[in-house]
Every structure is written in structure tokens, then in C-alpha cells.
Amino acid sequence: MRAIVVSTPGDSSVLEYVERPDPAPGPGEVLVQVAASGVNFIDVYHRQGRYPLPLPFVPGSEGAGTVIATGEGVTDLVVGDAVGWANALGGYATRAVIPADLAVPLPRGLSPELAAAVLLQGLTAHYLTHSVYAVRPGDDVLVHAAAGGVGLLLTQMAKLLGARVIGTVSSEAKEKLAREAGADEVLRYENFSEAVREITGAGVHVVYDGVGASTFDGSLASLRPRGMMALYGAASGPVPPFDPQRLNVGGSLFLTRPTLGHYVATREELLGRAGELLGWVASGALKVHITGRYPLAEARRAHDDLEARRTTGKLLLIP
């Protein structure tokens, strides 16, 4: 098989396209012929060593394809099943061994590309809007990078739940995408907290911030008293240490740094979230924007485009 391998942390040049022996599934695992792999910032963090992994490793936390072999003890999946996964390494390859308890059966008729494009970011948007802060009708919600993969899904989900959504973007083209996803107001990043205050008066109920260092202070300043700051990523870099007393001064604010794994901690929870998410996609209630398809061998270019914020929506690697 062919795969992308990281042997040392670094920039995109450490992504090597190599030939490897075909893997075999162990107990509780399935072997999948990969149809598409999602490209996400978590892959960048793994490559950089920001979230260290044993070396060497095959990156890619999200994908979809067809089961071609099952390991001992796997009873609910069989050869020929179409499955997708998120939060399991190894997707940047033509074949991947996936823990069976992380493999999600796909609804009949849903393309593997759509599944690979939506599972990781869609599950993230789902737990953020349904569990970290359960959005209610009439809430004011601030979504950073509203034209990005997660941002577009967060915007749509928050609107489905009845919120008023304020999005931040960096260009007119991205503003158009955010508005098409349902954003009520779209701002540039400069002085966004002041604009949020002008729009809402008291501030927003929740900020969903995957940008990190460059937006952190403004995000806190955008919250109403007892508002929630959900810092779920760090696209602009990690947030420096700060004094928790700022949360008191800001109005008894809440700050959380959640991660997907803690919100799909059981197979029941994973299948529940994934079932609702994929059902929305299959019905057309949730639109998935695939804006870049790259051959597997061009993973470096995909990472460069993602990090430079030259993209909107979802990027895929196609084996």
C-alpha cells in the first residue's frame, strides 16, 4: 500500500509518500480500503509535534471507505460495509486499520467523500453546540473562522437550534460563504469584540473559538456575564498562560478547552452523535462544502494550503 509517513516532527516537508507492507487487522479492528481522508488542523498539530505521537506514524484522523477484512471479535461490521471514522490515526493511506468501535456505518447512499468530509469536524460542531454549550433559541453565538470547515458546520447547527449567529472571516469571499451557511452578521477580525457589543448590547452567550492566540482576548471581551468561551483549537498558535481572575472581572465567565474524544467516550455516544450528523447530511439539512481534493501524494500541498488559510470548507486526500 501507499501511505504518508511522519518520521520526525516539522513543517510539511516531513510528510513522506512511501510504500509500506499491507496491514492486517488485529483483534477488535477492521481493515478499510480508504476512499477519502479528511485534512484537519489536528493533523498539522500531530505533524508539528505540538501533540506528540510515537514516531514514525501515519497521520490522518478522519476518513471513509469499505471494510475489506475484520479482526477477531468484530461482530457488528462485515466485509463490504461502508464505514467512516474520526479520531483514529492512519487515514493518510490507501488502506487503514481502524478500531472497530470507532468505525461508524454510513447511511445507504451517502458517498464516502461526504462522510470523510464531515465526520471529524461535524462531530466537533455537534458536541460544541449540543454539550459544551447547548445552544438555545434566541441565543447570540460568535463563531470564529466562520467560513472554515468547522465554522460552516457550527453556523448551520447553531441556526438549526434557533440562535443568532455572528461570524468572523478574513475576506469578502469567505463572508459570502458564511452568509450562505446562515450567519446573521459577518465581521472582520479587527476590533471584532467592539462590533459584537454594538450588535448584541450585552455580549454573546457563547464564543466558539478555534483560532486561539490572535482572537482569545477579543473572544473573552465579546461575552456577556456568565458567558461561555469554548476554545477548541489554536489555528493561530497556542494561547499564552493567563490569570483566571480575568474570568471574574469579565462577568463570572466560563472557559473550557474541550476535545472530541471526551465527548464520544462510549460507542453509544459516538453512534448517537454520528447518526444525527450523518442523517442531517443525507437529508440535505446540513450542507458540506468540499473545496479541495488532493491526490494522497500531495499531502504537503494540502497542509500548506490549510495552514496558510488559503482555503474554505473541507479539504480531502484521495488515494
Q: What is the model's pLDDT at position 131? A: 98
Q: What is the model's pLDDT at position 116? A: 97
Residue 313 has pLDDT above 80, yes or no: no
Residue 41 has pLDDT above 90, yes or no: no
* 238 and 296 belong to one structural domain: no
> What number is the average pLDDT over the span 285-298?
94
- Number of domains comprising the chain: 2
- Alpha carbon distance 74, 114 (integer Å): 25
Tell me the percentage of the chain whose pLDDT exceeds 90. 92
> What number is the average pLDDT over the span 163-184?
96
Q: How many CB atoms lie within 10 A of CB 266?
A: 9
Range of the domain at 206: 137-257
Whether cis (ω within 30° of 0) applies to the bond prior to 56 is yes
Q: Which three cell numbers stand for residue 251?
A: 462577568
Q: What is the CATH number of the domain that holds 186?
A: 3.40.50.720
Q: What is the model's pLDDT at position 87? A: 87
Closest by Cα among 24, 43, 35 to 98: 24
Q: What is the model's pLDDT at position 311? A: 78
* 217 and 278 belong to one structural domain: no
pLDDT per residue as tens digits for the range 109-164: 999 999 999 999 999 999 999 999 999 999 999 999 999 889 999 999 999 999 99
Helix (H, G, I), strand (E, B) or coil at 31: strand
Does residue 227 fall inside a structural domain? yes
Closest by Cα among 155, 156, 160, 157 to 144: 155
Is the four-CA dihedral 266, 268, 274, 280 of positive or negative sign?
Answer: negative
Residue 222 has pLDDT above 80, yes or no: yes
Q: What is the model's pLDDT at position 81? A: 97
Residue 56 has pLDDT above 80, yes or no: yes
Closest by Cα among 233, 193, 214 to 44: 233
Q: For strands 254-256 and 29-39, give the pairing.
A: unpaired
Does residue 287 fall inside a structural domain? yes
* 32 and 111 belong to one structural domain: yes
* 141 and 103 belong to one structural domain: no
> What number is the average pLDDT over the span 283-292?
92
Tell me the percentage of the chain whose pLDDT exceeds 70. 100
- Select from 229, 257, 285 the last residue of a domain: 257
Contacts of 265 (CB under 8 A, 6+ apart): none
Residue 312 has pLDDT above 80, yes or no: no
Is the four-CA dihedral 79, 83, 88, 92 of positive or negative sign?
Answer: positive
Closest by Cα among 129, 118, 114 to 159: 129
> What number is the average pLDDT over the span 39-60?
95
- Select from 257, 282, 310 the last residue of a domain: 257
Does residue 201 fall inside a structural domain? yes
- 234 pLDDT band, cuts 50/70/90, is confident
Q: For strands 95-99 and 164-169, give the pairing.
A: unpaired
Q: What is the model's pLDDT at position 182? A: 97
Does residue 31 fall inside a structural domain? yes
Give Rg (Cα) of the chain.
19
pLDDT per residue as tens digits for the range 57-113: 999 999 999 999 999 999 999 999 999 999 899 999 999 999 999 999 999 999 999
* 88 and 162 belong to one structural domain: no
Does residue 129 fall inside a structural domain? no
Does residue 265 fall inside a structural domain? no
Phi, psi (deg, nearest 5) at residue 129: -90, -15
